[in-house]
Amino acid sequence: MALNGHCMCGAVAWAYSGEITRNLVCHCTDCQRATSAPFTAFLGMRPDKLSWSGDIRHYESSPNTFRGFCPSCGARLYFRSDRWPAEIHVHAATLDDPGEYRADAQVMMRSRAKWLDRLQSIPVHEDFQQAPSTATP
Ligand SMILES: [Zn+2]
Ligand SMILES: [Zn+2]
Q: What is the pLDDT of residues 5-39, one digit of tens each?
A: 999 999 999 999 999 999 999 999 999 999 999 99
Please state the domain extents for the chain.
Answer: 2-115
Rounded Cα distance, 18 and 50, in Å? 8
Ligand nearest to the CA of 14: 1
The per-residue pLDDT of the chain, averaged, comes to 95
pLDDT-derived band at 1 (thresholds 50, 70, 90) equals confident
Rounded Cα distance, 76 and 58, in Å? 9
**% of residues, the chain, pLDDT over 70:** 97
Rounded Cα distance, 86 and 45, in Å? 8
124 pLDDT more than 70: yes
Check: CB of residue 87 under 8 Å from CB of residue 54: no
First to last CA, the chain: 43
Ligand 1 center from residue 72 Cα (angstroms): 5
Q: Residue 136: what pLDDT? A: 65
Q: Mapping DSSP to helix (H, G, I), strand (E, B) and coil, where does residue 47 land?
A: helix
| CATH class of the 2-115 domain in this structure | mainly beta
Q: Residue 113: what pLDDT? A: 98
Ligand nearest to the CA of 5: 1
Helix then strand then coil, in percent of the chain rounded to 5, is 20, 35, 45
Ligand 1 center from residue 53 Cα (angstroms): 11
∠ CA 64-8-59, nearest 5°, is 15
Q: Residue 131: what pLDDT? A: 75
